[in-house]
Structure 1
Amino acid sequence: MTGVREAWKGYKTRIKGKHFERYNNIEDMLKNRPLDIPEVQFQKLIAYWSIPSVKALSRLNSENRKKQQQQHRMGPISFARVRNEMDKLKSHQEAGDTPEKAFTAVFGKEQPGRVRCYGRTITKTSLQKDREIAKIKQQHAETISSMKTELHETKDRVQSLEDLVKLLLQQSSLGTNIDEALSLLRAKESTYDINSKQYSNGNDRPSSSTRDPK
């Protein structure tokens, strides 16, 4: 109903500005009347808008609207009523009620097919869909983050294995004993495991110098 009322007020304003206030005599007004309004009805509108008290009230309302810094969008609900309800809401919260309980106590239970404070076009169904979509997006982001972490760990593992192979070949070419080479390999692997645990706990990734001790 609010939308219909606003549309009707806008329609009357356009008709009055375009077909009444623009002309100085009734003949021109009737000649340029809206085609969707019968002449008899438009004559009645002209007669009503021409009443001195109506013209004075219209002029006063126009001047008052120009002075408004914030447009009133509460319909038939006055600002005084809003202030009174806000005071009640504050009193309930000060008494220990939760915000949800205080809101329900002042404004009543939610009506079917609508959701307060979300605008005219939002319904419980659309709000639930938005929440589900947001949840799916969050899960997707978490999955991507987890996959990136695993990819980094895999790359580090491959790099560590490459370093181990290079070290083994280097030690073999120098004639190092096989037991000594295995000891170096175990030390290398132990260092990698420590760095991997630190990285998985949220610490900075190990630098290349840490991964490849000399």
Structure 2
Amino acid sequence: MGNTRRIIKRLGKRVVQVSYELEEKVEKQRNGRKLHSNSGTANVNASDSSRKQKRGFTRLPGVWNLPPGKRTRVLLGKKMQPIGVEGGLLGSFSGPLLEMASWHHCSQLGSKLSKFDYPRIPAMEKWILHSINSKWRNWKSNLKAAHYDSSQPLSHHLKHLPERVRRDQWKKLVAFWSSKEGKKLSNINKANRAKQKIRHTLGKKSFARITAEKEAELGRELNRVDLFILSHERKKGKKPVDKAVAEAIGSMNDLAEVYPELCKSDTPLNEDVVSLVLGKEKPGRIRCYGIGPCPKDFRASNSSCHPKEKLRSENGKDEEIHKLKEELKAAKEQLKTTNGDVQELQAQLKKMSNRVEKLSAYCRL
């Protein structure tokens, strides 16, 4: 009997040890996303990202623990939005930035994002700030749903401080939710939310990422009808997520069959199939495009104007500035060597200088 107990005890210790080792191994696989460097730029190995995992707190130790000088390279899609696994990492990484103690110095944002290698252009700055704002709003919404009860007094909520929330911030947040202004805004938001009849099925993956993946798979560009169907069908069975989506897809397919030209990318924004079925686009966003593009990015003629075209336009201005500078340099040389009309050359020189200054000032706007 004593031998049996000793054997059971040893087996119990062994089971605990094996359990601990397995737990540790799973944790390492979950958090230890490997980053491979290439000429000072790191790329993410996505082999372990295909496994379905429960969503928890965003930690990303593989990004935070990158060696000095190594960065995760992020590629951009046609509309200047992050794509690929690395683009998803950048989107997730923007959430923890909200935990910074102070935003008085914007340099903090740049130092944190130095973990990533991406084009420093206005479109990306806009995308990052929109991403942070979206996560900030979602975080507050989740806190309110999980920890706030409008029937309880302020003192009750202060006794139940949520994890990862500072007491001073929680106090201000609960005070606002309990105020007349906060309740009025909440009712307005609830009413607006109730009007939303169309739900997408992308989850955490952005429109830009799913678009890039599908276009690479099919070998062709997707139009907005393609993107709407792709983002509003269930993964299993490829069926619409609900009745409202099914009716919208049916109407789009009917219109596309009769008027296929309304599905082309050069169709005016509010005259394509998606807008005809769902209504005109509102300021600040465009359906099926995700964070970044908005109606004002389209030309006055309503034909599509991608950010890449803007970049080409800016590059053209840079070339014009360079050309003017070369002319200015040649004029200066001519001024030194010629015995002709010095005053006329000086006038030309001043005129060219003014043109360069005006064009440079315009490009900085």
- Normalising by structure 2, we get a TM-score of 0.21
Larger Rg: 1
Q: Larger relative CO (CA 8 A, sep 6+): 1 or 2?
A: 2
Question: More strand by proportion, 1 or 2?
Answer: 2
